[in-house]
Amino acid sequence: MARRDTPEINAGSMADIAFLLLIFFLVTTTMDIDTGISRKLPEKQDPNIKPPVLKEKNVFEVNVNRRNEILVEGEHYMQIKDLRKEAMKFIDNGGGTAESLQAEGITPCTWCEGSKDPASSDHPKKAIISLQSDRGTSYATYISVQNELVGAYTDLRNRYANQKYGRDFDDLTNDQQELIKKDIYPQIISEAEPTK
Amino acid sequence: MPGISTASLPDIVFMLLFFFMVTTVMRETDLKIKKPRLPKADQVKKLERKSLVSYIYVGKSKDGSPGDKLQLNDRVSDIKDIKSFIFAERATHSEAEIPLLTTSIKADVDAYVGTITDIKIELRDINALKINYSTLKGSALDNMKR
């Protein structure tokens, strides 16, 4: 019997199948949001080790109560939009004199553009931001405060990076970033146990 | 010999398709808690290497009971389950990867800081120090206007 040509498979509906599968996966998979504020928790502390003694002027206290009100340095009620500027003023103050900093082996801050108020921080390496919230504070407020505090450091680092290297902080090499993170504007945000 | 009719090939494919649609389970990421609405922030970093990320969801429960509920990957759980959850995640990764593991906290805007703090204390106890607060990209000042 003469061999007939095998009939070709009609591929017209392959496109339909492909579209169906595509739509199926489009509808069922979720695009997970993967951005966020990265933090590193402090290591668990030995309860027997005493915390170091800090000068009150080197600590920028931020308190948030359960009504989501922000109190800065125990005295000023602050709006969230002003928090970043205030934090930057504190970190960038550089009010320490050579003698007072000599004990810790650092020289006065030459890159600080703050007002060198002696009642505010001595040097960015000694400037600590302390954050205490309440257990009833809303997470939205907490994130906003964290964002503004981290933003203060980012803005200062960017300003320094642009002045010194002409680029943003994120565009620098790893070594340059490490230098800024360790010696120029180290990020020291300490979170206290929230009030009940 | 007559050629095999291929007219029913698409039907077979559809049967397979429906079979898989019915039997596969898409990741149930919100069983009993309402999908958390994430707050906004601009100091955000993208999470690299999703395989090294564990997710903790915090939100309100669907039945309206008060207080926040946690969800670890896909099961509704409690604060005390966090440690075993992280250990289980660590077991699935190599030694070299363990210090790179990040925990992503996806909490609703109305969650309480007390719950978040309890989570952080548990994570700190077992040395899972890298955390990431999941947020949408935007101005953080919007969070306060609600």
Tell me the per-residue pLDDT of A3-53, one tens digit each, with 9 for 90 and over.
566 777 777 777 677 777 777 776 766 556 678 888 888 887 777 777 777
In a domain, A91, yes or no: yes
Q: Which two tokens stand for residue B104?
A: 């992503």
Cβ–Cβ below 8 Å for A142 and B116: yes
Q: How far is A144 from chain B (nearest CA, A)?
A: 5
| Closest to B90 (Cα-Cα) out of B48, B123, B133, B135 | B123
Hey, which bits of chain A come out as E strands?
35-40, 59-64, 70-72, 76-78, 128-132, 189-191
Contacts of B49 (CB under 8 A, 6+ apart): B100
Other CB atoms within a 10 A radius of the CB of residue A169 amount to 21
The DSSP letter of residue A136 is T
The Cα–Cα gap between A80 and B144 comes to 8
Higher pLDDT, B83 or B143: B83
Nearest residue in chain B measured CA to CA from A69: B144
A36 - beta bridge partners?
B45, B134
Q: Is A51 on the interface with B (CB under 8 A)?
A: no
Residues from chain A that touch B116, judged by Cβ atoms under 8 A, are: 139, 142
The Cα–Cα gap between A91 and A71 comes to 17
Residues from chain B that touch A83, judged by Cβ atoms under 8 A, are: none
Tell me the per-residue pLDDT of A45-90, one tens digit each, with 9 for 90 and over.
777 777 777 888 888 889 998 888 888 887 778 888 888 888 888 8
The Cα–Cα gap between A124 and A90 comes to 9
Residues from chain B that touch A147, judged by Cβ atoms under 8 A, are: 41-43, 135, 140
| Residue among B21, B111, B134 minimizing CB distance to A33 | B134
Q: How far is A41 from chain B (nearest CA, A)?
A: 5
Cβ–Cβ below 8 Å for B46 and A13: no
Residues from chain B that touch A141, judged by Cβ atoms under 8 A, are: 143-144
**What is the structure's pLDDT at B72?**
67
Hey, which bits of A94-153 come out as E strands?
128-132
| Residue among A32, A141, A151 minimizing CB distance to B42 | A151
User: Is residue B85 within a helix (H) or strand (E), and if so which, with residue range?
Assistant: helix B82-91
Residue pointed to by tokens 């040395």 = B127
Note whether A132 and A196 are within 8 A (CB): no
Residues from chain B that touch A154, judged by Cβ atoms under 8 A, are: 43
Note whether B19 and B114 are within 8 A (CB): no
pLDDT over 70 for what percent of chain B? 80
User: What is the number of domains present in chain A?
Assistant: 1
Q: What is the mean pLDDT of residues B27-33?
A: 58
pTM of the full predicted structure? 0.77
In a domain, A110, yes or no: yes
Q: Is the pLDDT of residue B146 over 70?
A: no
| Closest to A37 (Cα-Cα) out of B102, B80, B35 | B102
Residues from chain A that touch B124, judged by Cβ atoms under 8 A, are: 41-44
In a domain, A36, yes or no: no
In a domain, A169, yes or no: yes
Return the CA Rg of chain B. 21
Q: Is the pLDDT of residue B101 over 60?
A: yes
Residues from chain A that touch B3, judged by Cβ atoms under 8 A, are: 4, 6-7
Note whether B143 and A144 are within 8 A (CB): yes
Structural domain including A177 reads: 60-191
Q: Is the pLDDT of residue A2 over 60?
A: no
**What is the structure's pLDDT at B63?**
55
CATH assignment of B40-145?
Answer: 3.30.420.270
In a domain, A32, yes or no: no
Cβ–Cβ below 8 Å for B109 and A193: no
CA angle at A113 for the pair A144 and A104, rounded to the nearest 5°: 90
- Count of alpha carbons within 13 angstroms of residue B141, beta-carbon side: 7
The Cα diameter of chain B in Å comes to 77
Nearest residue in chain A measured CA to CA from B140: A144
Cβ–Cβ below 8 Å for B133 and A146: yes
Phi, psi of A80 (to 5 degrees): -60, -30
Cβ–Cβ below 8 Å for A81 and B141: yes
Hey, which bits of A41-170 come out as E strands?
59-64, 70-72, 76-78, 128-132
Phi, psi of A130 (to 5 degrees): -110, 125
| Residue among A136, A143, A193 minimizing CB distance to B140 | A143
Phi, psi of A95 (to 5 degrees): -85, 0
Phi, psi of A39 (to 5 degrees): -135, 155
Cβ–Cβ below 8 Å for B107 and A33: no
Nearest residue in chain B measured CA to CA from A41: B129
Q: Is the pLDDT of residue B29 over 70?
A: no
**What is the structure's pLDDT at A30?**
57
